[in-house]
Amino acid sequence: MHHHLFLFHWHPDEVDFLAAPLRAAGYRVSVEAEDGARGCRRIVAEPPSIVLIYLSRLPSHGIRTAAHLQERPSTRAIPVIFVGGEPEKVQSARAKVPSAQFIRPDQLFESLHSLLPPSPETPSQTKHDIRTEGIKLPFTNY
């Protein structure tokens, strides 16, 4: 079974671009780019292994969404990873969602590998390095 990730990024034209390297690495990725409440309902209906929230665009939306997920008993245990963001937005997210993990975009695959147990469909670190060599993730601004 593929690990399921749920990715929030508040720009519809960019969200699939951000999901593409994850999908290429063997993850099943659901995305939401417009409505945090809709994304939360989808997460309740089909809980992912990890929620990824990019802070590079409309960080207040991502922070509110993560706080809501952490408040609900049914979603509280799902790990949340905030990716990128300006330092002051990262600090705000840390204050409101202290249980989340905060990473730079270039740390994403390393973090996923450390949090998720290996599965037959999830590439090993070695395979991942080969598959994603040369892929640059946008929004490395923190």
Task: Using CA atoms of 112, 133, 138, 107 in order, give the dihedral in degrees to the nearest 10.
Answer: 30
Contact of 53 with 83, CB cutoff 8 Å: yes
Over the chain, what is the mean pLDDT? 85
Instruction: Name the β-bridge partners of 30.
Output: 6
Q: Which fold has domain 4-132?
A: Rossmann fold (3.40.50)
> What Cα–Cα distance (Å) separates residue 93 from each residue in 85, 101, 108?
10, 10, 18
Look at the pTM and tell me if it is higher than 0.95: no
pLDDT value, residue 86? 94
Per residue in 46-97, pLDDT (tens digit) is 999 999 999 988 888 999 999 999 999 999 999 999 999 999 999 999 999 9
pLDDT value, residue 16? 94
